[in-house]
Amino acid sequence: MIRLFLVLAGLFALQAPSVHAFPEMIRYGYVNCGSCHISQTGGGLLNEYGREIVREKLALFKSKDEKSKEHLFAYGALSETPLQKTLQAGGDFRSVYYYRNDPNIRLAKTVLMQGDLEFAHNLAKKLTLDATLGIEQPVPGQTVSFIARRHFAQYAINDLFNLRVGKYFPAYGIKTPDHVSLTRGPLQLGDNFESYNIEANFINDEWSFFVTGILGRYDDKQTRQDRGFAMQGSYAPSERSRIGGNLWYGKRPTQQRTLLGVFGLWGITQKLSIHSEIDYQYLHPELIANPSNTKGFASTQKLSYELLDGLWVFGQQEYGKFDLISDASQAETYGFGFQIFPRSHFEFNIAYEKTRTGGPGTEFTDYAWFMSHFYL
């Protein structure tokens, strides 16, 4: 049963939307996600400065026109209108072709991962409203449906303290688009696991702290998600590194769970970076006469090297055991790939992985995938 869960979780994660968040930017000295994003936890809509960084760093073939508006939303569609002072806009459209090959199955599919528009409106200098509207296809072949993944109000008390309330995923671990990671999908962390929350954070050049009250999903009673709290604290010992820790407590009708994690991001040089995360999970079942607690962990390491502006090569290794007393819960992955940003608004990922679930007695499965991403 656990082995089946790991396989399904991996496939689900492969179909999950990935937001525009790249921890590899740590090698350029960006230790805080809010430098480039509306959300202080990263991902989603870029601010004005983030757009400039995209033009400078995430384009293999750059425009020779210094006054070009190519990197702006919809290629500058709002730049000459009164809306540009108060409205920021963006969008993400992704699809993935993936191939799986093992002794039992050979499968190839193309999946619509994401089709979102996102808007942020500055009601006042300190208050920002952000919302998305998009479409999703949860399972290949199913009907495409509408979805509002995130919507929140964010208030800047001053330059250091912020409050946020709405629907989003709480600060936990490394904000990464690698949703096949064992520290994301199988632990029910990241995108597609958004909930309603109240968050307070403190951020300066070295320290950041996030405290989040997790309220669950009042809009979807069928969605079994945690209610509880999450905490994250991190420190930047240098201009190209950040280390931190996480705590998560969640309760739902069928279980209680606690997560403890540590993470680190290091820009070894301006071209080479590594990020690492390890999480420990403790599950306590509810509504069972003699419950058996489950303890497990998951870890991921990723090394990325910039060959050229807009052309990255990466390698990744992961290992997890979601029940320490069961080899059937063991999973491991080894892979490499290329991340290509040919020009502003375009991203392509090509990757190959060897994955094994179920312990040493099982065979590895081959995965290959090609992801295309157009962002407005």
First to last CA, the chain: 41
> In this structure, which amino acid lies at residue 223?
T
Domain-by-domain residue ranges, the chain? 2-375
| Mean pLDDT estimate for the chain | 87
Average pLDDT for 2-14: 40
2-375: CATH topology is: Porin (2.40.160)
The answer to whether residue 180 scores a pLDDT higher than 60 is: yes
Give Cβ neighbours of residue 210 (< 8 Å, ≥ 6 apart): 40, 41, 170, 171, 199, 200, 201, 230, 231, 232, 233
Distance CA 375, CA 192 (A): 19
- What is the structure's pLDDT at 210? 98
Average pLDDT for 81-90: 81
The answer to whether residue 15 scores a pLDDT higher than 90 is: no
Q: Is 222 exposed, middle or buried (0-12, 13-18, 19+ CB in 10 A)?
A: exposed
Tell me the C-alpha to C-alpha distance, in Å, between residue 358 and each of 6, 111, 321.
Answer: 9, 27, 9
β-strands 145-147, 227-238: how paired?
A: unpaired
Q: What angle do CA 73, 348, 346 make, to 5 degrees?
A: 20
- What is the structure's pLDDT at 222? 63
The answer to whether residue 337 scores a pLDDT higher than 60 is: yes
Q: Is 210 exposed, middle or buried (0-12, 13-18, 19+ CB in 10 A)?
A: buried
* Residue 172 DSSP SS3: coil
pLDDT digits (tens, 9 = 90+) for 246-281: 999 999 888 999 999 999 999 999 999 999 999 999
Give Cβ neighbours of residue 98 (< 8 Å, ≥ 6 apart): 14, 108, 109, 111, 367, 368, 369, 370
Distance CA 292, CA 85 (A): 56
At residue 263, φ and ψ (nearest 5 deg) are: -150, 160
DSSP summary character for residue 47: -
Distance CA 264, CA 26 (A): 11
Average pLDDT for 47-71: 85
Give Cβ neighbours of residue 278 (< 8 Å, ≥ 6 apart): 183, 261, 262, 263, 297, 298, 299, 300
The answer to whether residue 225 scores a pLDDT higher than 90 is: no
- What is the structure's pLDDT at 257? 95
Q: Cα 114 to chain center, whole Å?
A: 13
- What is the structure's pLDDT at 43? 84
> In this structure, which amino acid lies at residue 356?
R
DSSP string for 290-350? S---EEEEEEEEEEEEEEETTEEEEEEEEEEESSTT-GGGEEEEEEEEEEE--STTEEEEE
- What is the structure's pLDDT at 3? 44
Give Cβ neighbours of residue 250 (< 8 Å, ≥ 6 apart): 214, 225, 226, 227, 228, 256, 257, 258
Its sign, for the CA torsion 65, 304, 44, 35, is negative
Distance CA 232, CA 211 (A): 7
- What is the structure's pLDDT at 16? 39
β-strands 272-285, 311-321: how paired?
A: unpaired
Residue with tokens 């993400």: 92
pLDDT digits (tens, 9 = 90+) for 102-154: 888 888 988 888 889 999 998 878 999 999 999 877 666 677 788 888 999 99
Distance CA 181, CA 224 (A): 21
Distance CA 130, CA 122 (A): 9
